Structure 1
Amino acid sequence: MGNYLVVGELKNEDAISEEAIRDELARILESSMFVQSDRLGRFLRFTVEATLAGDAEMLKEYLIGTTVYERKPSYNPSEDSIVRSEARRLRRKLKEYYESVGKDDSIFIYYRRGGYVPVFRLRRSKGRDGAGRDDGWDELFVEGPGVRIAVLPFVDASRSDLSGAYARIITDELIHELVRTDGLQVTAASSVAPLMTQELDLPSLARKLNVQVIFEGTVHEDTNQLRITSRVVKADGFQIWSERFEAGPDPQSVFKISERIVSALISRIRPEQSLIRKQKASAGTSMLAVYPLVLAAEALLDEGTLADTQLALSKFQEVSEIEPDYARPVCGIALCYCEMALRGMPNSALAVSRAKQASQRAAKLDPQMILVPACTACALALSWKWHDAEKLFQQALGLGESAGTYRQYALFLAALGRFDEAWNYLQEAHQIDPFSYRQKVVNAKLFHLSRDNDKGVNHISKQMSYGTLPIESEIYLAIMLISLDRRDEAKQLARSVVCKAGAHPALMSAIAEVLAMCGQTAAADRIASDYNLFSANSPISKFRQALLSLALENSEKAISLLSIACEEREAELIWLAHDPRLDMIREDRRFGLLLAEVMRASSSTFGTTASREQQRAKVVPEPT
């Protein structure tokens, strides 16, 4: 008998002989899919033979580049990405092979993300749920009822009574809420405590507790600020993610703030894949490997400008290329395109189309994941398909709680003028994650759209208790101050925002709009000229150009721009029915025709002047 290899997490009875691996290699190389791919075939053969010879540790980028791709000894992998690119091609080609020609092969050869050492597995015929699958499942998922985690006591870094209280309460609350979170198995605190007296590194601690992930954190306090940092660490000791929350150090709100911090943390890092949430699987090595990149992209999507959203998109696309069967980053791609379409980018219809494509792909990968119907609903709403979008929002809400879905649905309802319902869902999102930048922006936008300016101004100033205020919230605050005839305050706020806005055209357009409404038309014109806001190749949407035109009291130009926006099916036209900035042209017959075109598929009743006044008088529930 030949030599046997025990690889990955295989049990002894699953050991694979070298002869069987070489037979599988020959089948792959002789297949129609590889016979015309000489370079990929050489890559595959070289790495498999080196691994069988016991030289797997030598399989680095430089060796493959010089041996397989005949690069010169001066070859620098950081300047020439040939090996990385070919490795991605090889992973895709092998996946295609095992989904078609090699679907009945008994052995599975693949490469983990970021590595060049082949992995050999026996193909299993059935999963836990009885469905057939190949061993690619083991990269994203492994057997187990959810992700196994442990929480270490948070450290009181300031050694004060208040920071100590926060550290204890956050630790207890985190354990409590993690136990209640779908897809997680939480080690009891009584099992963790005895080990804390031992001098163990995190990998040793994880092995003793038999967990995949560990939570740890610190609490700092000074006279004006409380800072809580929570870290998520893999069992090998490498950090997956770090989240920092800042709040006012109020001794009277220690329980409330602690609960909100824990809720926000869990909502951002919890499992989203339906197999894990239903405890039919646990996270595999591949999922844990790309998880930091996913979380980084989601943070950019929540907190960033339009440029940050574009960076988030590139990160989601990178993960999706590495792990094409992972639905969460695909949903992220869809949501990035939706956000870009809503934040002033030109040609937003193209972004919406790409959002639809990504959401359709995600639906094939994991139709039971909450994010899937939610991102599809967003794309449909931005296509003005109101009825279909609402059905999918309701489907998403039926799959479980999600702060992002609540916020997205609240915006959808606000576009239809259903403000009471919108506030209810935004309140739900606030309870889950009041620290979210997007939460604060949507909050401000709803006050603006519902014309509750007094309450909006008072509320936005209180949001500082949950961290800094986003620039977009400050812009809505300025617009509401103008509505209250407090133009000097609005002008001062707009000028302070300029220093923080950088060179982002959409933000500069909004600042110019505020300055124009305050009578500073020269400053507004200068911004419009400096950023080419009205040029043929303007960096902002026609809708944003129309708003700026109205602020500059050019109604005819605004109507013309909105007509073009309607022809191009711009996403931001969903705000036509209720944005107060459009009141100047609301009685114009041409505006009425545009509004009818955008809202024709909606069954909602859109307001006459009387109904808008009635809506204005309603009491808006203020998030606590």
Structure 2
Amino acid sequence: MSKLPKQRLTFFFSDIEGSTSLIASLGERYADILEQYRCIVRSALAAYQGREIDTAGDGFFAVFRDTRQAVIAAVRMQRAFATQAWARNVDFRVRMGIHTGDAIVAPTGFIGLEVHRASRICNAANGGQVLLTPTVLESAGEPLPEGADTIYLGEFLLKGFGQPERLFQLIVPGIDNPFLSPQTERPLPTIAVLPFAVRSMDPNDGFLGDGMAEEIIIALGKVPGLQVVARSASFAFRQQSLDPREIGKRLNADVILEGTVRRSSSRMRVNAELVDARSGLNLWSEGFEGKLEDIFVVQDDIARHIATALRLKLGSRQVRGIRSVQTHNVDAYRHYVQGRHLFYQFSRPSIEAALGLFQQAVAADPSYALAYCGMANCYSYIYVYLDHAEENLQAAIQSSREAIELDPLLAEGYVAYGWVLSLTERLEEAEAAFDKAIDLDPKLFEARFLYGRVSFAQGKLEKAARLYEEANRRRPEDFQSLLLAGQVYDDLGEDVRSREMRWRGVLLAEKHLELNPHDTRALSLGANGLVALGERKKGLQWIEKALQLESDDAMLFYNAACIYALTDMPAKALDLLERSIEAGITHRDWLENDSNLDPLREEPRFKELIAGLLDPRS
């Protein structure tokens, strides 16, 4: 049997809201209303090259080859309904859903998952509302026709689909838009954990508040049925006296956890409060009092209380994940928390300081497996970006092995080990380590993200793209995974998918920069995405701002070199590439395989730079 062909099309669905009630109230007059509705829809389809596929009851299914024509048709239909006296008199409203995707062309019409997705999107809309997906906006381009605009509504779980869908509302000029939230299955609740305020007089107690929040974020990240806002986003609201409803709106969170920590000598008191981010009402609150070393028990108790308050069920693996106390030594814990905070700043001084703190944590508690993970990650970072000395590589290997020996069920240990194995070109062993990490903790973002990087280095592009997208599903606000997936799809020749990933990644980077305006990684990766999407001027503005903020970052110089190479500025690109090598980038295979650097390959200076680097395979 021959394989049926596929086509990428824009699918349009519509139906009448409350049609049963209208039939009951209008009686025989409903037939006239239905006929006028069909007339308006068919007229718009004919005018804007839409092909009617099916009509069942009051529903329409049509396809468009041109996405912009589909948007125009929807705008014209809703304007027509809004201006008809007969429609206003009976409160007649039509809901619509538009989605762009691939479908199988069958003799009876079009079939496939994306057709069903479009139908579910229409079902989620309110009367008078038009819902769109990111693929529609990417395909239609900007600005939208007919003066239309969009607003982002959030992620919603469509019936029959396992992953939430990002939905946008089409704003039709001249028509009011006071719609209720889309009518979908209950989406996964999202929680933002704010840094706990420290009420102690001792400035050294600052780690208590950050550490409390960070450990709860990690514990809740293991709970199925719950999404947790990333630390970088929630910690941007440190010491800001904003209403929880405003914070929830800005972080797209359903609930907010906030609290205080007060220490007095060897005693402490912790107060925690879970707040509904929409109503501002208290969902749960409790005070905990005990010895300082009880902080670990308190963290676990808070995480379990939150799961209970949100009516989430915990299996044995999730209970173990929450009860993941790694040390009972408060000094070791303090050093570890401070080191982790510095590590995530990703600068030379912060990484070197973080390494020292992780070493102090291990000295205070030699059985602290997470501290060994921190050491391994620092040594790997130093080896890749700062100092390609063999002793750094060996220290990373030894530290990650120590973490696994101390706790064979610690997923973070296998992630650290997988990363360092990839640096030695032991790629199959690295894959096995990442697979083990994912098996131990399926929700761990870092496992899939770093696994994606290793797969990309192996040339396994399809696998890399899948892993980046899976990583983003574990941390939906992460811009890096989407922007890197965009480049992979570009290398695969999947232009539409590449643009969708980059477009979504840039949106997330913009949102991240609203909270963290000095994040040079968001600026540099976002700049790359903007340039690839044709937004050259804005992309160059972003990378220039990043270079002004950071004067000694090897990876930033490398990313900037890629951007200037893509914008036909080879001299500037080569200058920055040379600076990146001087600052620590020594991986020859990066420069040989990165498609962003293709415009430089015939430059004599580029060939000289390549020749001067070590081959990791030798």
TM-score, with normalisation over the residues of structure 1? 0.44
Relative contact order (C-alpha < 8 Å, sep 6+): which is higher? 1
Q: Greater share of strand residues, 1 or 2? A: 2
